[in-house]
Structure 1
Amino acid sequence: MSEDTSRRDRLQAGAIATLWRSLAGRRLSTLWRLSRIAGPLVHRFSKRERQITETNLAIVYPEVSETKRRRLARESLTHSTATMLELGFAWMDDPERVEASIVEVHGRELLDEARAEGRGVIVLAPHFGNWEVLNFWLSGHFPFTAMYEPPKIAPLDPIIRHGRERRGAELVPTNPRGVAALLKALKRCEAVGILPDQEPDWGSGVFAPFYGRPAYTATLLPKLVARTQARVVTGVARRLPGRGFALHFLAADERVFDSDETASASGVNASVEAAIALDPAQYQWEYKRYRKTPEEAAGDPDFRRARIY
């Protein structure tokens, strides 16, 4: 890394950290008002985020009118903006204040029952609502391990790590050593977190339907289940605008326990769809979920013309 790049990263990290700290003490109602102002601006001026969001919504909700999809896209980008503004709150604010913001918890018995049975719990945590608040709660109530990939802006790494680990979470790398750590945690009847909607590298996934369209989906889950007999639940922190958060733990689609990787991946995607149904506007639709295609995997020279992004 050049000295200029290093200096630029330090300046960016300093500015971002200062923003997080300045917002950490604000009321959630204030952060939501700021999001309601900034979100529409993101929709209007951030062409990339707007186009990806609207393309994804056209795929998953073809029966919905274009007018309603555009409204949903604006709402989704407002919630994504709120998540970014709430990072300082989740990572730096008084832990008692963050805990108090979680005003509802639905489905906790799924976690408690699994531990009572001597089983670990795999929490599928899609990019819905504020997943950092979910991480905060899980790591404060259960022994909790999650995979972690350092940010592109390296000086932010210690800040993010401290925020995610301050309640006792163990962060492990996204490599075989991290997978081994997840297995050990599950065999100790602990909870682990997996992001089920991140596109894996080639060779680490299979194509499975997500809203009826093939999406390249990670196959880590069936490997963990086969070796640990863990319970699988979907967990999200649904935003209650201006008031706090409601946690929802949902039993995963039964196909996640199938030994066939494609069947299991289909169950994972169905579980994510069930969580999104709680409030579609709170899902991060600006992620390129369909970037990899079966045509590309098959070596079709014309696959680029079929790409949607």
Structure 2
Amino acid sequence: MTTPRAPFPLRLLLRPKNWPLLLVVAAGRAVAFLPLGAMPALGRPLAWALWRWPKLARVTRANLAACLPHLPEAERERLARASTGHLATALLTALKVWFSYRPGHPAFAARFEGLAHFEAARDTGRGIILLNCHYNSTELNGAFTAQLPRGDRTLTGLYRAPSDPAADAVLQWARTGFSDRVLPARDVRTIAKGLKAGDVTWFATDLEFGGRGSVWAEFFGIPAATSNSLARLAGMSGAIVLPVRLRRDGAGHVLQVFPPLAGFPSGDAEADATAMNRAIEALIADDPAPYWWCLERFRKRPPGVPPVYPPARPPV
């Protein structure tokens, strides 16, 4: 199924308050002229600049210390720098995908591992939720996902809608370049209706969630405010949940599809949130560097539990 791409929000971006975002998008148009393989080298100066952002470095180090305490400090520091490099590459790759991806474009030809898991789920006729996380390039992950042999099933991308209308319009334009539609993750009823009809739905659920429907579930052994929306969607629709991951493979990438979550959902909100977090941990643990460790996953804490993130140093 192919649907029209959302219109590019030029008129909205031309408003003076949105000029900074317009500059980012314009830079993306320039990046699009470069080959996909150039993104890691192009990302090095951006990674250098990002690492000098005090909050990013502080959160990255704190997350690694909390989640991977068994590693020596020197190894965690290496991972922190490497993760920032992967993040910079992912940001530039996103711009490349937004402006350059077209079905059949040879630069974005997808390779898959574990495709049999997807095909088996597809052949049941049930909806499919592709569970992923902020690992390597989320946008290239989406472009590869669009090439899965899904037949006439609708590909729906879920996202946390930004509060800024211009940023939201840019994301809608960008992600409908490889998805049939893009929906806010909070729109549970519409998403579940699509899954009942057989949608393939792309969902990254590793962000902190402290609203209604959140529970405390461990992520790498640390209590984390976790959304139970994945379990709700699977329970309402009968969808199969398949973990997926985009992995660098030499000079290219491969989309890995893993076996479905067994016995999911169970009906126990905390057990289901824990099972989801365990599945995400498994996507990260064997090669943690490409994960976006700069995300504030543990900003909210249970009562009486000490903070994970050290306070920012006051100005001298």
What band does the TM-score fall into relative to the shorter chain?
0.7 to 0.9
Between stretches 20-29 and 255-264, larger displacement belongs to: 255-264
Give SS of 1:237's match: strand
1:76 aligns with 2:87: no
Determine which of 76, 90, 94 is the counterpart of 1:87: 94
Q: Which amino acid aligns with 2:177?
A: R
Q: CA deviation at 1:62?
A: 0.9
Whole-Å separation in 2 of the counterparts to 1:255 and 1:77: 36
Q: Does 1:180 align with 2:185?
A: no
Q: 1 CA distance for matches of 2:210 and 2:16? A: 29
Shift of 1:145: 1.3
Give the TM-score taking structure 2 as reference length.
0.85
Alignment pair present for 1:210 and 2:219: yes
2:272 match: secondary structure: helix
- C-alpha displacement of 1:88: 1.7
Question: C-alpha deviations, 1:27-84, integer Å up to 9, x for none?
Answer: 12322102123313322x1110111011000111111111111010000000011111
* Cα displacement string for residues 76-120 of structure 1 (whole angstroms, at most 9, x for unaligned residues): 000011111111211110415766434531122222111211111
CA-CA distance at 1:290 after TM superposition: 1.1
* SS at structure 2 position matched to 1:214: strand
Partner of 1:125: 132
Q: Does structure 2 conserve the Cα–Cα contact (< 8 Å) formed by 1:121 and 1:233?
A: yes
Q: Conserved in 2, the CA contact under 8 Å of 1:204 and 1:218?
A: yes
1:251 alignment partner, SS class: coil
Do 2:213 and 2:227's aligned partners in 1 also have CA atoms closer than 8 Å? yes
- 2:207 paired residue among 198, 205, 230: 198
1:81-160 alignment runs, 5 A limit = 81-96=88-103, 100-141=107-148, 142=150, 143-160=154-171
Other-structure match for 1:224 = 233
The amino acid of 1:170's aligned partner reads R
Percentage of identical aligned residues: 26
Deviations, residues 282-305 of structure 1 (Å, cap 9, x unaligned): 10000111111111xxxx5xx6xx
Q: 1:22 aligns with which of 18, 25, 30?
A: 30
Give the 4+ runs in structure 1 shifted more than 4 A. Answer: 96-99
* Partner SS, residue 146 of structure 2: helix
CA distance in 2, matches of 1:277, 1:232: 20
- Cα deviation, 1:215-258, whole Å, max 9, x if unaligned, reads 111111221222222111112222346x2321111225436422
What amino acid maps onto 2:301 in structure 1?
T
Corresponding residue of 1:308 = 308
Match of 1:289 in 2: 297
Tell whether the 8 Å contact from 1:293 to 1:307 is kept in structure 2 after alignment. Answer: yes
Partners in 2 of 1:165 and 1:195 — Cα distance? Answer: 16
Aligned to 1:65: 72
| CA–CA distance in structure 2, aligned partners of residues 55 and 118 of structure 1 | 43
2:314 maps to none
Q: Contact 2:155/2:179 (CA < 8 Å) preserved in 1?
A: yes
Separation in structure 1 between the aligned mates of residue 125 and residue 104 of structure 2, nearest angstrom = 32
Amino acid at match of 1:73: A
Listed as ranges, the gaps of 5+ residues in structure 2 are 1-13, 310-316
Give the Cα–Cα distance (whole angstroms) in 1 for the partners of residues 104 and 123 of structure 2: 29
State the match for 1:3 in structure 2: none
Determine if contact 1:49/1:286 at 8 Å carries over to the other structure: yes
Determine whether 1:31 maps to 2:39: yes
Structure 1, residues 172-193: CA drift from partner, whole Å, max 9, x if none?
Answer: 2343xx2112111111122112
1:270 matched to 2:281: no
Q: Which residue of 2 aligns with 1:51?
A: 58
Task: Tell me, in whole angstroms, the C-alpha distance in 1 between the residues paired with 2:180 and 2:286.
Answer: 27
> 1:149 & 1:9 partners in 2: Cα distance?
22
What is the aligned partner in structure 2 of residue 166 from structure 1?
177
